Homo-oligomer: A and B are copies of this chain.
Amino acid sequence: MEQRFVYMDYNATTPLREEVKARMIEDLDIYANASSMHEAGRRARDRVEMARKQVAALIGAKDPSTIIFTSGGSESNNTVFTTMYELGRNAERRKIITTAIEHPCVLNAARHLADEGFPVVFLGVDGQGRIDLSELERELDPARSSGGASLLVSVMAANNEIGTVQDLAAISRLAKAAGALLHTDAVQAAGKLPIDVEAWGVDYLTLSCHKIYGPKGIGALYMRRGTKAEPLIRGGHQELGIRAGTYNNQGILGFGYAAELALRDQGAFEMRLRALRSRLRDGILAAVPDVRVNGHPTHVLPNTLNVSFPGAEGEAILLSLDLEGIEVSTGSACASGSLEPSHVLMATGVGPELAHGSIRFSLGRGSSEEDVDYVIEKLAPAIKRLRRMSTIPSSACRA
């Protein structure tokens, strides 16, 4: 097979869809400040409001005013935690419950609240990456745990590294029963799974546009009507006073269109990706001896396959594949460059050495069966070579 370029890092980011790109190029001339009172400003504002409806529809939100545009997922998540700081700093109800496998921005925002004296609990996960609902229930009960009444439960809808999907409806029932707010980071779930803020019963939900084939630098925070939010960025009166700053017309309009297409295509996309993922998993299992597939076998994103290769080192695998034109990752791009093993894999009980020998394959719209077969073909000899060179005994990695 001749050299191909195979991008399998769609969880890090996605290219613009051709339709979104074409629309964005048309819209590059919509430059007026959407807060301006003149005709050009009002026209820009109308387009922003249309995009807001498109984004609301993607997550089943009936009221578009529940959507606040932000600069991305990290800002949305930080806005929720800043809000919790304001709500909890002088209140009895201030316990924060999140998980050990959240994205770095939730983890760091939660650690910051811990530094500020908030009781913060990071729930562990089982070997497949799901939280234990009875542990959540115990932590929500002040009589059976420390830290008092809970202010917030923050659990990601689907994990970015291993793809494990949580049972948000069940989590919501427990959180509501205890009077806590519920936030979910749905950055990786959006477009890949159906999202329904009503069925999930969430109060806050985070979205990022660049994960659904739209532009970078734009995201959203869903806030259930009546829910409070504290501005992270203070200033003008934009976005109900919750998010100041001139409207990013291009980003917002691109987001709206990407959301509309993601909603339209979600079912077929999910089915096609699930088949490709199975082909990749089965192909790797057949071609490479002694591997471990991480994450949940069924409650998993349709596009995400995380595999550990005992006796090989993740960055070496990544670079070997890179030379063959294959782009994958060892985990979150937001954590890359770090020498620490994946906190997500570690939380599932994978030891540090095995965690260091793991690769995230994330498929997407451009992925084909040929891509999958090419990856399998190139991966098998690479792992064999690296294992031969490795000083790490394969068995030690399974500790």
Contact = CB atoms under 8 A, between A and B. Distances in A.
B217 A250 contact: yes
Given A16-B31, A32-B327, A315-B37, A233 B333 contact: no
A216 B32 CA distance: 10
A247 B32 CA distance: 24
A2 interface: no
A249 B74 CA distance: 16
Residue in A108, A235, A338 whose Cβ sees the most chain B Cβ within 10 Å: A235
A109 interface: yes
A233 B322 contact: no
B247 A40 contact: no
B31 A9 contact: no
The 10 residue pairs across chains A and B that have the minimum distance between CB atoms:
A105-B235, A217-B248, A236-B334, A71-B71, A74-B245, A108-B234, A12-B33, A15-B31, A38-B327, A13-B33
23 contacts: A12-B33, A13-B36, A15-B29, A25-B28, A35-B333, A37-B315, A37-B336, A38-B328, A41-B333, A71-B217, A72-B246, A73-B245, A74-B236, A78-B235, A104-B236, A104-B244, A108-B244, A109-B235, A216-B247, A216-B250, A217-B251, A236-B333, A237-B338
Interface of A: 7, 9, 12-16, 21, 24-25, 28-29, 31-33, 35-41, 71-75, 77-78, 81, 103-106, 108-109, 112, 208, 210, 215-218, 232-238, 244-251, 315, 318-319, 322, 327-330, 332-338
